[in-house]
Structure formats: structure tokens, C-alpha cells
């Protein structure tokens, strides 16, 4: 999905890269990144983390196609990888890929289930969503923000598969079409055994074998002879 969002990137100094430079960039309010793709050399850049966070929080998320400005160059790009600081949640680094709008790409799109399944509402089952995203191939402009499937008619024992997901003819599934997306399963309850059942099991259990202590038993033949003087 395309966006009118514009991300301005600044090329980093080739002679001053490393952890220290990355810390300096973050302290100045920017985040290090790498731009590659479209049969061009990769370029180390820095970007505004606020612009990137806005894109990641949008409806299409990391699949958003935006305009990347680097010097006099302006190209379409998307976020393909990003890393957060685990404690404070700040962006640490990201990878940006140049996109050719006339070439198909592969992306992963989230699956959203809507409605309440009959198997849950009327048959007492529970919904189990096995697959939460699907990989597909299409032109950048045709990337859907998500695939929304209405499961209202899903009954107990019925399976929603990848092939059942609504999609346009411009999208090709890479994920196996027969893979299960969701189904309604039964609720398994553990029933405590009754006292009668416990007594019956105890009576049916084999008696413990008598433990025979190992050791040499003294017999008349084994009585030691008195020592000779």
C-alpha cells in the first residue's frame, strides 16, 4: 500500500561509522539505517525515528510504500527490518529497500478474523487461529493492509484455509493454499475422578511384589570350619 509519507534521509560519513557514531546519531535525535535495492549500491544513512514510527503504526505498517529523499535522489522505498531497544523501546536501526513500482515483490500481510463463529456462539466450541499472517506476491501498489475474513458461518469441525481468504486477482499466495488459518475446536474439560472410581482403580491395581533382601544366607554346609591350631 502506497503512502504520501516522505522520509528524508541523510548520508552518513563513511569514515566515522561504528557504535560510537550510532550513539551520537541517536543522541542527536536520528537513527542509523541502510538503504539498498533496485540494483544500486547500499548506502548508510540516518533518518528521523518519528517519521519511521508513524509509518510502522499506520494501517499498512511496514508494508507502506513511501517516498525516500536522499540528497537530490527521490525514490519509493519500504521498511524491511527494524530493531528496538528492549527496555525503553527506542528505534536502534532499520533497513530500507528501494522499490520499483512496476516489479512484483513478496510481503507478509496480517490476517484479521471478523465476526463470531457459529461454532463458538451456538455449538460451544472455541476458535483457534493457527495462522496470523500470510506471504503473498503482488505489485507494490496492490499490497493490502490486511486480509479480513468473516468467520460468522464457521461451524464446529470446519476449517478456514489460506485459499478461503478474500483477495483480488492481482495477489498471488506464496503460503500453501491448503494451510489452516482457523477452525473451531471442542472445549476439553478435565473431570475429577469419583471416590468409587478411585476405589475401583486401587482394587484393580496389582499388589506390590514382596521385596526379597539380597544377602548370603548361612547354611549348615556353609558354616565355616573352626580354625586349626
Look at residue 30 and tell me whether its pLDDT is greater than 60: yes
Look at residue 112 and tell me whether its pLDDT is greater than 90: yes
Cα 45 from Cα 7, distance rounded (Å): 12
Domains in the chain (CATH in brackets) are: 2-103 (2.40.240.10), 106-185 (2.170.120.20)
3-state secondary structure the chain: CEEEEEEEEEECCCCCCCHHHHHHHHHCCCEEEEEEECCEEEEEEEECHHHHHHHHCCCCHHHCEEEEEECCEEEEEEEEEEEECCCCCCEEEEEEEECCCCCCEEEEEEEEEECCCHHHHCCCCEEEECCCEEEEEECHHHCCCCEEEECCCCCCCCEEEHHHCCCCCCCEECCCCCCEEEEEECCCCCCCCCHHHHHHHHHHCCCCCCCCCCCCCCCCCCCCCCCCC
Question: 156-187: per-residue pLDDT in tens?
Answer: 989 999 999 998 889 999 999 999 999 999 86
Look at residue 115 and tell me whether its pLDDT is greater than 90: yes
Q: How far apart are the first and last CA of the chain?
A: 109
Look at residue 202 and tell me whether its pLDDT is greater than 70: no
Question: How confident is the model at residue 210, as a pLDDT?
Answer: 47
Question: How confident is the model at residue 198, as a pLDDT?
Answer: 53
- Average pLDDT over the chain, rounded to an integer: 83
Q: How confident is the model at residue 86 (pLDDT cuts 50, 70, 90)?
A: confident
Question: 37-76: per-residue pLDDT in tens?
Answer: 988 889 999 999 999 999 999 999 999 999 999 989 899 9
* pTM to 2 decimal places: 0.70
Cα 56 from Cα 62, distance rounded (Å): 5
What share of the chain has pLDDT > 70, as a percent? 79
Question: How confident is the model at residue 4, as a pLDDT?
Answer: 73
Least confident of 7-16, 105-114, 132-141, 201-210: 201-210
Question: How confident is the model at residue 221, as a pLDDT?
Answer: 45
Cα 129 from Cα 181, distance rounded (Å): 6
Q: Are 156 and 139 in contact (CB under 8 A)?
A: no
Amino acid at each position: 500500500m502506497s503512502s504520501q509519507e516522505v522520509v528524508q534521509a541523510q548520508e552518513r560519513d563513511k569514515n566515522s561509522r561504528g557504535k560510537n557514531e550510532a550513539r551520537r546519531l541517536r543522541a542527536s535525535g536520528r537513527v542509523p539505517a541502510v538503504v539498498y535495492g533496485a540494483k544500486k549500491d547500499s548506502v548508510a544513512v540516518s533518518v528521523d525515528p518519528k517519521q519511521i514510527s508513524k509509518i510502522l503504526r499506520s494501517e499498512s505498517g511496514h508494508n507502506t510504500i513511501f517516498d525516500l529523499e536522499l540528497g537530490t535522489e527521490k525514490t519509493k522505498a519500504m521498511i524491511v527490518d527494524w530493531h528496538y531497544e528492549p527496555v525503553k523501546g527506542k528505534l536502534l536501526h532499520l533497513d530500507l529497500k528501494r522499490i520499483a513500482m512496476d516489479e512484483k515483490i513478496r510481503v507478509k500481510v496480517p490476517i484479521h478474523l471478523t465476526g463470531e463463529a457459529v461454532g463458538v456462539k451456538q455449538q460451544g466450541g472455541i476458535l483457534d487461529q493457527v495462522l496470523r499472517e500470510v506471504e503473498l506476491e503482488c505489485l507494490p501498489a496492490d499490497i493490502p493492509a490486511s486480509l479480513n475474513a468473516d468467520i460468522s458461518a464457521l461451524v464446529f469441525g470446519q476449517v478456514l484455509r489460506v485459499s478461503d481468504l478474500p483477495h483480488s486477482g492481482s495477489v498471488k499466495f506464496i503460503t500453501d493454499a491448503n494451510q489452516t488459518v482457523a477452525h473451531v475446536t471442542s472445549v476439553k474439560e478435565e473431570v475429577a475422578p469419583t471416590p468409587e472410581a478411585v476405589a475401583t482403580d486401587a482394587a484393580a491395581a496389582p499388589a506390590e511384589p514382596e521385596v526379597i533382601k539380597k544377602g548370603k544366607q548361612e547354611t549348615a554346609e556353609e558354616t565355616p570350619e573352626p580354625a586349626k591350631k
